[in-house]
Amino acid sequence: MQQGSFAVDRTHRWAALALVIVATTLLVLGIYHGLLQVLYRAGWIRAASFLGLEYYQGLTLHGVVNAIVYTTFFEVAFGYVVVKHFLRIPLDSRITVLAVAMMLVGTVMAAVPILAGKASVLYTFYPPLKASPWFYVGASLLVVGSWIPFFQWIAAYLQWRRLHPDQDTPLAVVGILSTFTVWLIATIPLAVEVLVLLLPWSLGWTASVDVVLARTLFWFFGHPLVYFWLLPAYVMYYVMVPPLVGGKLFSDKAARLAFLLFIVFSAPVGLHHQYADPGVSSSYKWLHGFFTFCVAIPSFITAFTVAASLEHGARQNGGRGLFGWWAKLPYFDEQRYLFAYAFPGLVLFLFGGITGIVNASVTMNNVVHNTAWIPGHFHTTLGGPVFLAFLGLSLWMLTELGGKPLRLTRWNVAVPYVWAIGVVLFSIGLSVAGILGEPRRTNMALSYSNPDSPLFQPQWEIWTKLGAVGGILMAAAMVIYFAVFFATLFAPAQPVREIRFPTAEALRYESLGVARNFTPWVVVAVIFLVIAYVPPLIEVLGGSTVPSPPYQPFSPVPVGQ
Amino acid sequence: MERSEKLILVVSGTLMGVFLLLLVYSGLGLGVVVPTCITDVRPFTQGRVEQRGPRQYDVYLVSRMWFFDPGEIRLPPGSEVNLYLSALDVTHGAYIEGTNVNLMAVPGSVNFARFRLEGEGVYRVLCHEYCGLGHQNMAGKIIITREAAAAPGAELVAGAR
């Protein structure tokens, strides 16, 4: 066994396992309130709260746990696996333990106020709604804790480059380093918002906060965030899926180019969440709309390259004809279950990509902004390829790092398909209702879905109920998943071997040129960021906004008055 | 690079280019606008409707926990409305049913949209941003009616739910 590999490194094995197990356990809460939300919205639970959990408190939990905690924990764990497996450079265990401890402590510090009802501010925590200071401190610790592994990996990568000057960086490592470059760029404005604006304000040290500035900083973070979620799924598609279908990666260079383009285009796009906002000039919004169209290109490249790789594999297995090769893919293969977790996500992402382009389209956004269309969209992206990849890879890490045999294998391959059918119904329901005007983030049980309310909207009803049926199917898939995960977790361990990481070979070799090096791409990314964000930030900081005192969700009177 | 790869790059690039041109056309040709930064109207705390000309109205709409002020606005058919939107406390939103008017109401700032309402009927104004525990009940209405045309100005019921 080589130095730096997992079988001889207990600390990193346990660190990654701890993150995956804690994240999956917390996910039970996030999924539970996902189910409750569709029941409320359909009017099947007609109340402000259910079993002690209030609707917006649960919505905060659903967003924070699923979109921030689960994703960050999973990605740090997967990053350690990729970096250790492919680079084989020893990492300092003490730093790893510190990082994991910060993430765990931060999560507990944020979770306690949410569960106590003292931070029902949703995952966007838009001021002037104020949460308990512990919520902001906890979120900051989680984010800063997740930076530490990235710095470890950069040091390991530079060391690897010195030791292997003539080799190309392994593609999975390019993917993970791109992912965390996007994350670092994204989380700097978030850290500024939380540490400079919100934390002193929630502690009462400052009296008021500039809400337009806070929103601009939040969405500076909030959109690159989605590529932080997406890129590990692309690592799975490019690196792990081709060998599972018996083929090779169609183009290694295209894959690298896609990752590097995400570094360039993922961040100068945040204003597309603020098209409907005051305080920001429309010309800046148009510029961000243009950049958002650019960031669609690496996803087009990925769709093509992954589909071509699948076709290549299927033809190796005897697939013939224009469409006949589709029959030669291992859809329900219990041993190669990672394919089952990849394929439906790819299909969902076709819809997610197209609806995303609609959202990016500056003027069309007037129709869909803050309607149910938006969750309809992102459950086919975050809830599609991203979530399914993370579920599959979490199981894979549990078996490979924990030495556990996978249990309930036949049930396991059903999970992604049941989930995907659920997502399709859910997203059709929410998208159509959204175009009809149904708002997101709203406990419709008490008004729009209630026939006794003057606000009742009968034309939304059928679509909301279709969405709820989809949500119930999604929850059913997750019940099976949790059964598989925990049955595997509590199975007796076998001796831990070297991990088996399915790794694609490239079909053709092409010279990489500028795709060999991160630096030029990061430089261009910074230039685009300056172009896209300095003028609107100057405008926002120009003082046209009157700062706001803090409010709590239950009272129209500011805190302390 | 393989021929099919070049093809997909050209096709996807062209597709996004066509989308972009159509988008620019919707803005410049069809006159669909998105909110911009306005500084000539300072944040206000009282809702009101002012008539500026024949069938031209300035509506100053205040969004607050958890109602719009004014909560009910009566205007004649074909009214051209300049809507100024402010938020008194936390962030709200305003979507006018059956229209493309969809705005964020952000505390400390004023949002703006110009639109025309032709057909008679009730256009509900829905809050679409989470604004606290009463969010789901926050809605106002604009009533387009010929009776409003008979009145010298707009009829106004301030603060009505």
User: With helix as H, strand as E and coil as C, how does A222-270 read?
Assistant: HCHHHHHHHHHHHHHHHHHHHHHCCCCECCHHHHHHHHHHHHHHCCCCH
Residue B148's pLDDT band (cuts 50, 70, 90): confident
Which residue range(s) make up the domain with B26? 1-32
Mean pLDDT in residue range A479-495 = 96
| B97 and B134 inside one domain | yes
Strand partners, B59: B49, B83
* Residue A459 near chain B (CB below 8 Å): no
- Under 8 Å CB pairs connecting chains A and B tally to 202
Cβ separation B34–A555 shorter than 8 A: no
Asked about A259 being catalytic, the answer comes back as no
Residue A495's pLDDT band (cuts 50, 70, 90): confident
Which of the 8 DSSP states describes residue A326?
Answer: G
**pLDDT at residue B155 tops 80:** no
Provide the pLDDT for residue B152. 47
The number of C-alpha atoms within 13 Å of B154 and in the hemisphere containing its C-beta is 29
- Taking CA–CA distances from B1, the nearest residue in chain A reads A510
| B24 and B70 inside one domain | no
- Residue entry with tokens 């729009």: A448
Q: What CATH code is carried by the domain that includes residue B60?
A: 2.60.40.420
- Taking CA–CA distances from B97, the nearest residue in chain A reads A437
Provide the pLDDT for residue B153. 46
Q: Is residue A556 part of a domain?
A: no
Q: What CATH code is carried by the domain that includes residue A503?
A: 1.20.210.10
Cβ separation A297–B16 shorter than 8 A: yes
What is chain A's mean pLDDT, rounded? 95
Q: Is residue A20 part of a domain?
A: yes
Mean pLDDT in residue range A435-461 = 96
CA atoms of B60 and B76, how far apart (whole Å): 17
Provide the pLDDT for residue A62. 97
Q: Is residue B28 part of a domain?
A: yes
SS3 A287: helix
| Closest of B34, B96, B35, B31 to residue B63, by C-alpha | B96
Helix residue spans in A510-554 (DSSP H): 519-541
Distance from the Cα of B136 to chain A's closest Cα (Å) equals: 5
Distance from the Cα of A464 to chain B's closest Cα (Å) equals: 15
**pLDDT at residue A496 tops 80:** no
- Residue entry with tokens 């005192």: A549
Contacts of A558 in chain B (CB under 8 A): 89
| B149 and B104 inside one domain | yes
Distance from the Cα of B73 to chain A's closest Cα (Å) equals: 17
Cβ separation A48–B133 shorter than 8 A: yes
Distance from the Cα of A1 to chain B's closest Cα (Å) equals: 38
Contacts of B32 in chain A (CB under 8 A): 363, 366
Residue A145 neighbours by CB under 8 Å, 6+ apart: A99, A100, A101, A102, A103, A106
Q: Is residue B38 part of a domain?
A: no
The number of C-alpha atoms within 13 Å of A337 and in the hemisphere containing its C-beta is 26
Q: Is residue B67 part of a domain?
A: yes
Q: Is residue A219 part of a domain?
A: yes
Nearest CB to B32: which of A294, A363, A440? A363
pLDDT tens for each residue of B36-67: 999 889 999 999 999 999 999 999 999 999 99
| B60 and B138 inside one domain | yes
Q: Which of A218, A227, A234, A339 is catalytic?
A: A227
Please give the order of strands across the beta sheet that includes B72-75: B102-105, B92-96, B121-126, B139-144, B72-75, B155-157
The amino acid present at A231, given as its one-letter code, is: L
Residue A509's pLDDT band (cuts 50, 70, 90): confident
* Stated length of chain B: 161
Mean pLDDT in residue range A504-519 = 87
Contacts of B23 in chain A (CB under 8 A): 289, 361-364
Q: Is residue B150 part of a domain?
A: yes
Backbone region of residue A117 per phi and psi (left: phi > 0; alpha: psi in -120 to 50; beta: other values): left
Distance from the Cα of A2 to chain B's closest Cα (Å) equals: 36
Structure tokens at A36: 């409750």
| B13 and B84 inside one domain | no
**pLDDT at residue A4 tops 80:** no
Q: Which of A215, A336, A377, A407 is catalytic?
A: A377
Q: Is residue B84 part of a domain?
A: yes
DSSP string for A131-172: --HHHHHHHHHHHHHHHHHHHHHHHHHHHHHHH-TTSPPPHH
**Number of domains observed in the structure of chain B:** 2
Nearest CB to A362: which of B27, B103, B137? B27
For residues A136 and A109, the answer to whether their CB atoms sit within 8 Å is no
Backbone angles phi, psi at A506, to 5 degrees: -85, 145
| Closest of B61, B65, B79, B86 to residue B118, by C-alpha | B79
Nearest CB to B90: which of A128, A254, A280? A128
Contacts of A129 in chain B (CB under 8 A): 90-91, 131-132
Backbone region of residue A25 per phi and psi (left: phi > 0; alpha: psi in -120 to 50; beta: other values): alpha
Mean pLDDT in residue range A37-65 = 96
Backbone region of residue A240 per phi and psi (left: phi > 0; alpha: psi in -120 to 50; beta: other values): alpha
Contacts of B6 in chain A (CB under 8 A): none
CA atoms of A459 and A469, how far apart (whole Å): 17
For A501-539, b/e burial (b = at least 16 CB within 10 A) is beebebbeeeeeeebeebeebbeebeebbeebbeebbeb
Mean pLDDT in residue range B9-30 = 93
Asked about A378 being catalytic, the answer comes back as yes
Backbone angles phi, psi at A374, to 5 degrees: -65, -55
Nearest CB to B37: which of A279, A304, A444? A279
* Residue A517 near chain B (CB below 8 Å): no
Cβ separation B100–A296 shorter than 8 A: no
For B108-125, b/e burial (b = at least 16 CB within 10 A) is bbbbbbeeebeeeeebbb
CA atoms of A462 and A303, how far apart (whole Å): 33
Q: Is residue A19 part of a domain?
A: yes
| B101 and B149 inside one domain | yes
**Number of domains observed in the structure of chain A:** 1
* Residue A321 near chain B (CB below 8 Å): no
**pLDDT at residue A2 tops 80:** no
Provide the pLDDT for residue A97. 97
Cβ separation A297–B27 shorter than 8 A: no
pLDDT tens for each residue of A258-299: 999 999 999 999 999 999 999 999 999 999 999 999 999 999
CA atoms of A395 and A238, how far apart (whole Å): 19
Provide the pLDDT for residue B4. 85
Residue A421 neighbours by CB under 8 Å, 6+ apart: A470, A473
Provide the pLDDT for residue B150. 56
Whole-angstrom CA distances from A132 to A56, A136, A237, A463, B70 are 15, 7, 40, 36, 33
pLDDT tens for each residue of A214-239: 999 999 999 999 999 999 999 999 99
Q: Are strands B92-96 and B102-105 parallel, antiparallel or unpaired?
A: antiparallel
pLDDT tens for each residue of A94-123: 999 999 999 999 999 999 999 999 999 999
Asked about A516 being catalytic, the answer comes back as no
Structure tokens at B155: 């009829």
| B72 and B117 inside one domain | yes
Which residue range(s) make up the domain with A485? 12-541
CA atoms of A195 and A133, how far apart (whole Å): 11
**pLDDT at residue A252 tops 90:** yes
Residues 58-77 of chain A whose Cβ lies under 8 A from any Cβ of chain B: 59
Asked about A497 being catalytic, the answer comes back as no
**pLDDT at residue B157 tops 60:** no
Provide the pLDDT for residue B35. 93
CA atoms of B128 and B46, how far apart (whole Å): 21
| B75 and B12 inside one domain | no
Structure tokens at A384: 């599609």
| B20 and B72 inside one domain | no
Contacts of B137 in chain A (CB under 8 A): 446-447, 453, 455
- Taking CA–CA distances from B17, the nearest residue in chain A reads A293
% of chain A at pLDDT higher than 90: 93
Preceding peptide of A128 cis, ω within 30°:
yes
Nearest CB to B136: which of A280, A305, A447? A447
Asked about A228 being catalytic, the answer comes back as no
Torsion, Cα A397 A399 A404 A410, to 10 degrees, reads 130
Q: Is residue B81 part of a domain?
A: yes
Cβ separation A56–B9 shorter than 8 A: no
Cβ separation B35–A361 shorter than 8 A: no
DSSP string for chain B: --HHHHHHHHHHHHHHHHHHHHHHHHHHTS---------SS---SS-EEEEEETTEEEEEEEEETTEEESSEEEE-TTEEEEEEEEESSS-EEEEETTSS-EEEE-TT--EEEEEEE-SSEEEEEE--S--STTGGG-EEEEEE-HHHHHSSS-EEETT--
Distance from the Cα of A544 to chain B's closest Cα (Å) equals: 7
Q: Is residue B37 part of a domain?
A: no
Helix residue spans in A361-492 (DSSP H): 365-368, 373-378, 387-402, 409-435, 458-489
| B17 and B91 inside one domain | no
pLDDT tens for each residue of A543-556: 789 999 999 999 99
Q: Are strands B139-144 and B102-105 parallel, antiparallel or unpaired?
A: unpaired
Helices A224-235 + A171-191 axis angle, to 10: 160
Q: Is residue B42 part of a domain?
A: no
Whole-angstrom CA distances from A159 to A87, A90, A154, A179, B107 are 9, 10, 9, 20, 50
Distance from the Cα of B145 to chain A's closest Cα (Å) equals: 20
Q: Is residue A5 part of a domain?
A: no
Mean pLDDT in residue range A420-439 = 97
pLDDT tens for each residue of A16-30: 999 999 999 999 999
pLDDT tens for each residue of A346-363: 999 999 999 999 999 999
Nearest CB to A553: which of B36, B109, B132? B132
Q: Which of A12, A336, A379, A407 is catalytic?
A: A379
Cβ separation A447–B132 shorter than 8 A: no
| Closest of B11, A484, A178 to residue A170, by C-alpha | A178
Mean pLDDT in residue range A509-532 = 92
CA atoms of A150 and A82, how far apart (whole Å): 12
Cβ separation A300–B8 shorter than 8 A: yes
| B121 and B60 inside one domain | yes
Cβ separation A442–B128 shorter than 8 A: yes
SS3 A365: helix
Q: Is residue A480 part of a domain?
A: yes
Residue B151's pLDDT band (cuts 50, 70, 90): low
CA atoms of A542 and A122, how far apart (whole Å): 28
Q: Is residue A397 part of a domain?
A: yes
Distance from the Cα of B85 to chain A's closest Cα (Å) equals: 9
Backbone angles phi, psi at A544, to 5 degrees: -80, -15
Q: Is residue A560 part of a domain?
A: no
